[in-house]
Amino acid sequence: MVGQDATRGEVVDYVRFHEIPLDQLDNVFVVDKNSTLVGAVPVSRLFLVSSDQRIAELYNEPPVSVLPEVEEKDVFELFDKYNLRSLPVTDESGHPIGVITVDDVVSHMRARL
């Protein structure tokens, strides 16, 4: 999660510093000053802009997200419907508390077989 005021260069530095697995990174989720999820920037879009470009100018809104109590069937349907690789989980106020990845979904499905 990054703030709206971050630049593309700062986001790239953040990803490098935190050693985020690139095979799981399809979107960078964006929060506002109140730490509320407001959008997502496809990583591919970060390649097309300058390092000083503000994230606020790049994100798509609103991102698909779920609450923690979501039914697993609904998670599967969202991944299928939107061809997701990651799905943010927020609290009732829209504050991010986690992310479900496609690897999580596949592992869960395999465990059920």
The SS3 assignment for 95 reads coil
The amino acid at residue 33 is K
Domains and CATH numbers, the chain: 2-112 (3.10.580.10)
Instruction: Give the span between the Cα atoms of 11 and 5, in whole angstroms.
Output: 10
pLDDT score, position 23: 77
Predicted model pTM:
0.87
DSSP state of 11: H
Report the 3 state secondary structure along 40-81.
EEEHHHHCCCCCCCEHHHCCECCCCCECCCCCHHHHHHHHHH
Comparing CA positions, the residue from 52, 50, 54, 55 lying closest to residue 40 is 55
pLDDT score, position 11: 94
Q: What is the pLDDT along the chain (113 residues), one digit of tens a residue?
A: 899 999 999 999 988 898 877 777 889 999 999 999 999 999 999 999 999 999 999 998 888 999 999 999 999 999 999 999 999 999 999 999 999 999 999 998 888 88
